[in-house]
Structure 1
Amino acid sequence: MNITKEQIDDLNAVVKVALTKDDYQDKVESILKDYRKQANIPGFRKGQVPLGLIKKQYGKAVLVDEVNKLLQDNLNKYLTEEKLDVLGNPLPKQQDNFNWEADQLDFEFELGLAPSFEVSLNSKKAITHYRIVADKKMVDEQIERFQKQYGKLVNKTVVGKRDEITGTFKNEAEEIDNNTTLEMDKIKSKKAIEGLVGKKVGDVVVLKTKGLLKEDYLLSSTLGISSEKAEKLDIEVTFTIDEINEREPAKLDKELFDKLFGKDIVTSEKELRARIKEDSEKQFEQQADQKLLNDVTESFIENTKFDLPAEFLKKWIQVTGENPLTEEQAKEEYEKSEKGLRYQLIEGKIIQEHGLQVQFDELKEFAKGFIKTQMAQFGHLDPQEEELENIAARVLGNQDEVKRLSEQLMSQKLIKLYKEKANLKIKEVTYDNFVKEVYG
């Protein structure tokens, strides 16, 4: 076997492979002899079929199969040994009227080569790194939510603007008959609020469904209907009041602090405010980091210039999918994927140059932290180490989960690197202003 490379240009090459019968003949003969032992052909006893007949019936297929295996194994080995950084996979060049009986079989493969380029983390134009702060208004609102959540219900005789009303919604034509609790501070319609305030148990109020609630998605559960039906619902419903309650807010005392954070963790309103601010800003940090990662990615793509073997990649896209594409379809696919491919190459270079790796031990710790966060959402705040180890072992036994968690951990490593090395300007904003600036 002889393998040679012809360099077309910096981004394209052709690898030529020449095979002689010595490279594959013994293997082909061995397989055909095994076929002969197992062949069941009418007129011949098992194992006694003439080898010539076996060759005539199966020889071409076995030859093609073995040569393809030989090509694949040795081509991959050659690319590795020569340290050729290829994009996609080698594409065999079409050869019409190929003679499989020739003493030498010649094959050619087109290669698309990865470009050579440099990446500078320190861009000329500074990239905004948002630091989202929890302001007094946000802390006050969170404290109010905690007080309401852990407060107690006090029965009332007349509806007020901040009360909770239990009652039944009805509309016979639309088959609505649902008993629920309606919170006054979630009602959007001023007419509905005016219609309810001052009413007593047993009173019936007519309400319009359109624009009734501040959050449209709540209408389906409030009326006991599907979200599809609620989406365009514009009717009148009756609401019969069964019970009126005021939620008396919980006091800001040790009992509430212990319920929220555990015994003696928070001991004063000042500490409570500091803890809420800290916890909120930790949550916001993930959003700010994702924004930073997106912006740095865009900056790299915009400022790191290099060419790609575009024609090769279009051809590769055209022939390697489940269904072959037309040239126009392949061109469209390439244009859609080019930006992502560029960043994959840039990211790969950054990871290599800065020695970023995901070790199994740190992946396991990362998985345990992820599991612990999920468990906390369901009220399991202090899981045992053995429990975390067992769950992590099951999670890391799934290759899809390993890939997903590895990508997340590598993203964290990249963000840490960018914070240390990239040209960033810190901008402190409240969460509301962050949403306005980033999402419009």
Structure 2
Amino acid sequence: QLEQLSPDGSVFEDGINETASVRIEQIVDAAVKASLVGLKKDDVVELDIQKAFANDAAKIAGLLKIDEETAADLKSNFRLTVKNVNRLEESDLNQEFFDKLFGEGNVTTEEEFKAKITEEQENMLKQDSERKLQDEIYNYALSKVDFALPDEFLKRWLKATNEKLSDEELEGGYDDFAKNLKWTLIENKIITGNNIEIKYDEVFSVAKQRLDAQFRMYSPQPLTDEQLGQYTVQYLQNKENANRIFEEVKALKTFDYIKSVITLDNKEITRSEFAKL
């Protein structure tokens, strides 16, 4: 059980509270990993989730079932309460294992298995590279299109609309709020100024991809395309989910437009070099 904590270490009453599976091998930070090894049922520890996953917004989003933008901006620590401890045993490289991992009949030999693993690793690295580029574009745009916001008015508005928001929480989170608001204004200007449309098919496709990634994290048996489509329809029937994915598609289209009007200097580097960026 993962419960979002306030700055004073108490559980944030209206914060994130999610039951999730935390796999030790997915933890990037060595110190955090060491703190989790040997935990037993009902043990409680405080978890710096950004440190644990090296600020990987996609992994954090999948774990907490939130969107990547929220995950990237998340500053809170979490209380982790162990409900169950499961141990994985090494499997033989046989057809039963291949079918569980990739679906029945999709991989039949060890060579195909290795090729599939390589393909998935390459796709993950491409996604990491794209997220890094988006982060660079985001910060560059904010530095170049700088404009003042009515800060005092916005702070009063935030306090008026969030009665439980303390002065400490307001001051601690306002800079991130202001940056996101500026980006939203830039984003909307690009979308409307260039007549960029966001279609339902695009929203459906991205929602389907996100759900597929989440299901794959917690189940070795992939869903059929029909099952995934049904889950996606149900998911988008929730207005909050639909709005979240719509905003994600809008952001992706904004980044795509910016990339089309700037010159990118592509460089080939090693994975370890990329991790240091």
When the two structures are superposed, what TM-score results if normalisation uses the length of structure 1? 0.38
Q: Which runs of 5+ in 1 are unaligned?
A: 1-185, 187-210, 230-246
**2:209 corresponding residue in structure 1:** 369
Shift of 1:275: 1.9
Counterparts of 1:260 and 1:332, CA distance in 2 = 47
Matched, 1:406 2:225: no
Counterparts of 1:258 and 1:288, CA distance in 2 = 30
Counterparts of 1:320 and 1:272, CA distance in 2 = 52
- Secondary structure at the aligned position of 2:35 is classed as coil
Shift of 1:372: 3.3
**1:314 corresponding residue in structure 2:** 152
Matched, 1:215 2:34: yes
Written as runs of structure 1 = structure 2, the 5 A alignment for 1:157-236 is: 215-221=34-40, 226-228=43-45
Matched, 1:432 2:251: no
Q: Which amino acid aligns with 1:322?
A: A
**1:30 corresponding residue in structure 2:** none
Q: Which amino acid aligns with 1:250?
A: D
Encode CA deviations 1:230-288: one digit per residue, 9 max, x unaligned: xxxxxxxxxxxxxxxxx88735x666545543455345544333321110121222222
**2:121 corresponding residue in structure 1:** 280
Written as runs of structure 1 = structure 2, the 5 A alignment for 1:31-430 is: 215-221=34-40, 226-228=43-45, 250=92, 257-262=98-103, 264-305=105-146, 307-308=147-148, 310=149, 314-315=152-153, 317-318=155-156, 321-322=159-160, 336=175, 337-376=177-216, 377-383=218-224, 385=226, 387-430=227-270
Counterparts of 1:260 and 1:392, CA distance in 2 = 22
Aligned 8 A contact 2:142 2:179 in 1: yes
- Secondary structure at the aligned position of 1:219 is classed as coil
Shift of 1:421: 3.3
Instruction: Find the structure with the greater CA-based Rg.
Output: 1
Aligned 8 A contact 1:317 1:333 in 2: no
Encode CA deviations 1:303-340: one digit per residue, 9 max, x unaligned: 224x43x5x5534643674289xxx99x9699724433
Larger relative contact order (C-alpha < 8 A, sep ≥ 6)? 1
Q: Which amino acid aligns with 2:184?
A: Q
RMSD across aligned C-alpha pairs, in angstroms? 4.1
Aligned 8 A contact 2:101 2:222 in 1: no
Aligned 8 A contact 1:257 1:272 in 2: yes
When the two structures are superposed, what TM-score results if normalisation uses the length of structure 2? 0.56
Structure number having the greater helix percentage:
2
Counterparts of 2:161 and 2:104, CA distance in 1 = 62
Counterparts of 1:279 and 1:389, CA distance in 2 = 22
| Distance verdict in 2 for CA 1:274–1:399, change over 3 Å | same
Aligned 8 A contact 1:313 1:334 in 2: no
Shift of 1:214: 6.9
Q: Which amino acid aligns with 1:420?
A: S
Counterparts of 1:282 and 1:355, CA distance in 2 = 31
Structure number having the greater strand percentage:
1
